[in-house]
Structure 1
Amino acid sequence: MATVVSGSPRSSAPAGPAAPAASLPELRPMWRRPATWAWTAVLAVGLVVPFLVSDYDLFKATRVLTVAIAVASLNLLIGRAGQISAGHGALYGLGAYTAMILVKEAGWAWPLAVLAAVVVSGVAGWLIGLPALRVRGMNLGLLTIAIAAIFPLLLARFDELTGGTIGLQLPGSPITAPGGLALTPEQFQFLVALLVLAVVLVLLRNLTTGPLGRAIEALRVNPLMARSEGVDVNRLTLTVFGISSAVAGLGGALGGLVLASTVPDSYSMFFSLTLLSACVVGGSRTWAGSLIGAAFIVYLPDLISQQIGATVAGQWSQLAYAAALLLVLFFLPSGVAGGAGRLLARLTARARRHPAP
């Protein structure tokens, strides 16, 4: 006689504790993430710095912040979207000249001039992105290098508008504190640049997360795969180029108004390559890398000139840029900020696995 066994083997097995979901990523609120606290500390220190250092040091630090905005635009374009650009120095200069012309010749208030510079640079970047729909990789890099080389020549050619080789100068920076604020011009300029950089980094970080961030990442990894997944590659490429160029123009507008001077030689092809090296040295896929890279290219010439003199400092600065770039590419492929982040993550993971008794 056949024996009928009721139930399934799964139901007859003894019930045990649920398996821990160790493979799932840990989702923590924004306020519990170490990066949030680190950036909050940096912002708090930045708000105090203007009242502790000299105006000259503030001037140099403000230049670091304006250059960091341009480097962050390269981080979006190169590190996140995988597009090559060696001509962002020209877009930085376009923003500077647009703001200076509107303030000096048209009498605009500096906030409106900065907004107009953002729009002009964004449109220019969108136009530059059109060839990127057909050429990629090395050919795109050569195209942007050509743009960086032509830009100073165009500035010198249209001298009635740009001042030619002399450039444009203002008697003083128009970015000054309102009457109710007891701040020196240098203090106010630093605080404005700091807040603008903070807003830019937050917006870029939010832009590269979520569905749009996944589409940008797919564009970087493989455009054909992204197109097969339903991503409009052409439209996304133009959008990223436009946003990146607008951010670069924002940094240039603030930088030009802080200096109260724009000269074609300041936005040469070498400056574009310097921005590119700052992106690589700092870390093209980390937003903190924009600050590190900007500080690298702003303070390095000063350090060299203090050691060997200003006469030959320019040549040695170029050599230092090249040497630093080679060292980072060999030993820190993800940049200084990326390497530091990986080291911190390893130490944190080790501390969790082996807690102190």
Structure 2
Amino acid sequence: MTNYTLHSAMPGASAIPAGGAWRYLGAAAFAAVLLGLPFLASSYQVFQLTMVVIYAIALLGLNILTGYNGQISIGHGAFYAVGAYVAAIMMDVWTVPYWLTLPAAGAVCLVVGFLFGLPALRLAGLYLALATFALGVALPQLLKFKKFEAWTGGVHGIVLNKPEAPFGLPLNADQWLYFFSLLVAVLMFVLGWNLLRGRVGRALMAIRDHPIAAVSMGVNTSLYKSLAFGVSAMFTGVAGALGAIAAQFVSPESFTIFLSISFLVGVVVGGVATLSGAIYGALFIQFVPNVADSISEGAPWAIYGVMLIVFAYLAPHGIAGALQRARQRLASRQPARD
């Protein structure tokens, strides 16, 4: 029989599974850590944590496309750049409040991603990867054009002001931006979770696993593939807007192809087709390069490459997959209770 624990000593109190109680306690402890960290860390550390939250949103967007729909993208840094420049231009040229730039950046990237997904329907596998790679390489160069310099700032970029905490909250700018980014991340993860567990998510995974069967069941593969690109770009664009606000600066050199490759690395290391993998991947791409640099200042990328190989060997299904298997092994070793 299942082991139950009472959540109240009063007669008639309902019972919840003991495992469920531990999950609630773990979630509460995790939330407490997230809320308490900004008050224990330095300003630079808070900025790093904010970037982890922002990267998690971007990786969630890429995971929707690559993990749940099976379309490979090596140029998602371009959508991150579009979102960042939309926010920067709106704040710098039109003095729009920073929080209003997020839905605008998401909407623009949704349209751009959907339109890019239409011609990409003719491509698959390595050819699609090559097309997205070209997008990631070309966009930073387009941002340097003199015709767009009045908007983008050209090679000099755009400098932004970091927003202060509203309503007289006793928080400095870094702490407020962390909490603001965390709130946006929670909303985006809830949106992604609801999207993937519903009809759209089932259609995306059906196209990934059995495209012919999906067509025979009436799934419009062209529509859903383009929609996957659009929704994925929307998530990444919102992350880009937040990244621009947090960094207080955007320039073409901030969005090189290495950013796109880092996103793909984060998805693979964190765990493909998992929501929690976006968080683990964000931690990896934010902190592991710094760890590699501290180990060897002369050859940090060699250390980074070794770490990638170690992760690929020890966790071939990503960190999320490794943790899930560890939990399953622990559960199988527990003796059955009557």
TM-score in terms of structure 2 length: 0.88
Where does residue 225 of structure 1 map in the other structure?
213
Q: How far apart, in 2, do the equivalents of 1:322 and 1:330 lie?
A: 12
Identity, % of aligned positions: 37
Q: Which residue of 2 aligns with 1:189?
A: 177
1:217-265 deviation line (CA, Å, top 9, x unaligned): 1011022111111111111111111111000000010011111101211
Instruction: Name the counterpart of 1:325.
Output: 308
Match of residue 290 from structure 2? 302
Q: Contact conserved, 1:65 with 1:197, CA < 8 A, in 2?
A: yes
* DSSP-derived class of the 2:117 partner: helix
State how many pairs are aligned: 321
Amino acid at match of 2:151: L
Find the aligned partners of 2:99 and 2:131 in 1 and give their Cα distance: 32
CA distance in 2, matches of 1:246, 1:150: 20
Measured in 2, the distance between the counterparts of 1:78 and 1:37 equals 32
Take 1:33 and 1:252, find their aligned partners in 2: how far apart are those partners? 37
Aligned residue for 2:176, secondary structure, equals: helix
Conserved in 2, the CA contact under 8 Å of 1:74 and 1:284? Answer: no
CA contact (8 A) 2:56 2:281 kept: yes
Change (3 A) 1:160 1:283: same
Q: Following superposition of structure 1 onto structure 2, how do residues 34-45 of structure 1 map, counting pairs within 5 Å?
A: 38-45=26-33
CA shift at 1:75, angstroms?
Answer: 1.3
Computing the radius of gyration from Cα coordinates, the structure with the larger value is 1
Work out whether 1:270 is the aligned partner of 2:258: yes
Counterparts in 2 of 1:216 and 1:39: CA distance versus 1, 3 Å: farther
Matched, 1:117 2:100: no
Q: Following the alignment from structure 2 to structure 1, what is the Cα–Cα distance between the partners of residues 305 and 322?
A: 19
Residue 159 of structure 1: aligned partner: 149
Aligned partner of 2:327 in structure 1 is 344
Quote the Cα distance in structure 1 between the aligned partners of 2:207 and 2:310: 28
Deviates more, 1:93-102 or 1:329-338: 329-338
Give me the CA root mean square deviation.
2.2
TM-score (norm 1): 0.84
Q: Quick one: distance in 1 between partners of 2:309 and 2:105?
A: 34
Q: Which letter maps to 1:132?
A: A
Q: Equivalents in 2 of 1:202, 1:334: separation in Å?
A: 23
1:156 aligned counterpart, secondary structure: coil
Find the counterpart in structure 2 of residue 316 from structure 1. 300
After superposition, what is the alpha-carbon deviation per residue over 1:286-343, rounded to whole angstroms, capped at 9, x for unaligned? 211111111111112322333434xx5xx623x3444343333344221011111111
CA distance in 2, matches of 1:82, 1:245: 15
Superposition map of 1:174-213 within 5 A: 174=163, 176-213=164-201
Q: Which is worse superposed, 276-285 or 340-349?
A: 340-349
CA distance in 2, matches of 1:222, 1:340: 27
Deviations 1:255-289 (A, max 9, x none): 11111101211111111011100110111222111
Q: Does residue 162 of structure 2 align to residue 173 of structure 1?
A: yes
- Deviation of the 1:207 alpha carbon: 1.2
Residue 140 (structure 1) aligned with residue 128 (structure 2)? yes
Report deviation, 1:34.
6.4
CA contact (8 A) 2:271 2:320 kept: yes
C-alpha contact 1:173 1:257 (8 A) present in aligned 2: yes
Aligned to 1:281: 269
Write the distance in 2 (CA, Å) between the matches of 1:128 and 1:34. 44
Structure 1: how far apart are the matches of 2:281 and 2:251? 23
Equivalent position amino acid for 2:162 in 1: S
- Residue in 2 aligned with 1:5? none
Measured in 1, the distance between the counterparts of 2:138 and 2:129 equals 14
- Please tell me the residue identity of whatever aligns with 1:293: G
- Unmatched segments (≥5 aa) in structure 1: 1-19, 21-27
User: What displacement does 1:32 show?
Assistant: 3.5
Residue pair 2:292, 2:304 contacting (<8 A) in 1 also: no
Change in Cα spacing, 1:40 to 1:125, as seen in structure 2 (3 Å) is farther
Cα displacement (A) at 1:37: 5.5
Q: Residue 136 of structure 1: SS of its match in structure 2?
A: coil
- Mapped to 2, the partners of 1:198 and 1:40 lie a distance apart of 15
Residues 1:75 and 1:131: Cα distance change in structure 2 (over 3 Å): same
